[in-house]
């Protein structure tokens, strides 16, 4: 196996930049299925992480990573030999290396998957000299091949310093504090990240594979999203998604205005919100229409998917919302859900104050179960603790390593709080709830 550019496996006799047959073929429904297998070395947590990393493609592009069944061309994802991939579709079971010990980051997984879709590193672009200087004096002779330019198809899109496919400024430097890649004209521009695909990364996939999708990536710490044409009427026959992926914390969404055509059970036009990156993620807010205000929504992770659908008849003004993030907590309206302290099962952070607001439909109650509980112990639980309140009832504070009896509310709302001080963090808790009549 020959590796170029750090993680690109070279297959003699082919050039991905000029090889149209090296793209994954499009199916009759307009999607691009990419079959894959996962090594048995990956555990359930690894598999879940692969799934959420792949689901961003499903939300924002026409690419669909699907488990391999009878397909002869597929990605054979293995935990060996670091992080690496071939460029584009090669046929057969082509290896993609995602090492358990060094590659299990969303951005690294997507980086290697993008190679398999047909993309080189951003700093290999044929026009890279217009945007960066390569400081070869700080690169060892054996590593200089990692900075070779390629005859790339740039798809008519601008250079992307923030691409998940871009190396950082010190990549392969042989001299401390001396960069190998310097952006121009502004040398302070940040380059490369492994949080996940950038907006331009998504655009490049859609352009290369001619995807007809209405999907938007919102990857800043905060911002605004609104329906098309807002505050004028939104178009008929719309079907769009917005994927909120905050850099840290848990994604939040607050609607400032909401006017969507009302219909029985919202079968015509609606907004639906998912607690994760795809339509298969748990539902945070089921189909909603009409007018009025919607409570603040908080995802359990840094990803939240907003879906908007309209039919061919009456339209409304639409909606405007702001997104941001919080370090922990949540506002839950789904009929059942499991949630945890931040970082669980690893240690929760210090100096946290998390509030979990659970609201059931009027006339229903909330049954709360804490199935694992390990927090710092202390007299009267003055350091780290959990409390539960509803109406005039109060349970806790709870601390230490203990069992907590199930708690059922008397009304349709319940508030659970979690506090940690500056020292002695443990694994925290996992809790779940269901609604009942």
| Residues with a known catalytic role | 112
Residue by residue, DSSP assigns 368-408 as EEEEEEEE---GGG-SSEEEEEETTEEEEEE-EE-----EE
Helix (H) or strand (E) holding 306: strand 303-309
- The runs of H, that is alpha helices, within 190-317 are 199-208
Rounded-to-integer distance, Cα 205 and Cα 357, Å: 39
**Contact status, residue 413 vs residue 344, Cβ threshold 8 Å:** no
User: Which residues does residue 167 pair with via DSSP β-bridges, in sequence order?
Assistant: none
Structure tokens at 314: 């009456």
- Inter-CA distances, 129 with 169, 198, 261, 411, Å: 15, 21, 51, 65
**Pairing mode of beta strands 223-226, 385-390:** unpaired
**Pairing mode of beta strands 250-260, 318-326:** antiparallel
Give the list of residues 6+ apart from residue 316 with CB closer than 8 angstroms, or none: 233, 234, 259, 260, 261, 269, 291
136: alpha, beta or left? (left if phi > 0; alpha if psi -120 to 50): alpha
**SS percent in the chain: helix, strand, coil, step 5:** 15, 35, 50
User: Which residues does residue 226 pair with via DSSP β-bridges, in sequence order?
Assistant: 320
Nearest in space to 407 (alpha carbons), one of 373, 370, 381, 360: 370
Place of tokens 């003004």: 317
Nearest in space to 7 (alpha carbons), one of 125, 101, 79, 96: 96
Count of alpha carbons within 13 angstroms of residue 315, beta-carbon side: 20
DSSP strands (E only) in 165-302: 181-183, 215-218, 223-226, 239-245, 250-260, 270-274, 283-288, 290-291, 297-298
Residue by residue, DSSP assigns 270-281 as EEEEESSSSTTS
């Amino acid at each position: 196996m020959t590796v170029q550019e750090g993680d690109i496996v070279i297959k003699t006799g082919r050039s991905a930049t000029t090889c149209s047959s090296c793209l994954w073929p499009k199916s009759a429904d307009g999607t691009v299925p990419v079959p894959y297998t996962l090594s048995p070395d990956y555990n359930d947590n690894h598999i879940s992480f692969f799934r959420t990393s792949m689901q961003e493609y499903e939300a924002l592009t026409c690419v669909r990573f699907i488990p391999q069944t009878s397909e002869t061309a597929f990605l054979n994802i293995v935990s060996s030999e670091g992080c690496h991939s071939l460029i584009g579709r090669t046929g057969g079971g082509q290896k993609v290396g995602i090492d358990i010990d060094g590659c299990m980051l969303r951005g690294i997984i997507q980086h290697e998957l993008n190679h398999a879709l047909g993309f080189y590193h951003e700093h290999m672009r044929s026009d890279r000299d217009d945007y960066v200087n390569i400081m070869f004096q700080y690169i060892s002779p054996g590593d200089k091949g990692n900075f070779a330019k390629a005859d790339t198809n740039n798809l008519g899109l601008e250079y992307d310093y923030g691409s998940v496919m871009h190396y950082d400024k010190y990549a392969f430097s042989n001299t401390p504090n001396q960069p190998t890649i310097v952006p121009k004209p502004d040398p302070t521009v940040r380059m490369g990240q492994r949080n996940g695909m950038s907006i331009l990364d998504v655009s490049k996939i859609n352009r290369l594979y001619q995807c007809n999708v209405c999907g938007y990536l919102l990857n800043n710490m905060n911002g605004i999203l609104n329906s098309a044409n807002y505050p004028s009427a939104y178009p008929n026959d719309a079907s769009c998604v917005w994927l909120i992926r905050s850099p840290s914390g848990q994604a939040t969404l607050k609607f400032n205005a909401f006017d969507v055509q009302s219909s029985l059970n919202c079968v015509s036009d609606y907004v639906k919100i998912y607690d994760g990156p795809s339509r298969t993620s748990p539902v945070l807010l089921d189909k909603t229409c009409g007018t009025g205000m919607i409570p603040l929504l908080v995802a359990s992770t840094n990803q939240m998917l907003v879906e908007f659908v309209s039919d061919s008849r009456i339209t409304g003004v639409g909606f405007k919302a702001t997104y941001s993030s919080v370090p922990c907590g949540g506002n839950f309206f789904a009929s059942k859900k499991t949630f945890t302290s931040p970082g669980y099962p690893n240690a929760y952070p210090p100096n946290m104050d998390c509030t979990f607001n659970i609201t059931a439909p009027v006339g229903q109650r909330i049954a709360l179960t804490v199935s694992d509980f390990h927090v710092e112990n202390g007299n009267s639980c003055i350091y780290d603790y959990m409390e539960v309140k509803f109406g005039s009832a109060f349970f806790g504070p709870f601390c230490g390593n203990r069992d907590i009896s199930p708690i059922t509310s008397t009304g349709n709302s319940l508030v659970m709080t979690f506090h940690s001080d500056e020292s002695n963090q443990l694994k925290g808790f996992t809790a779940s709830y269901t609604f009942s009549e």
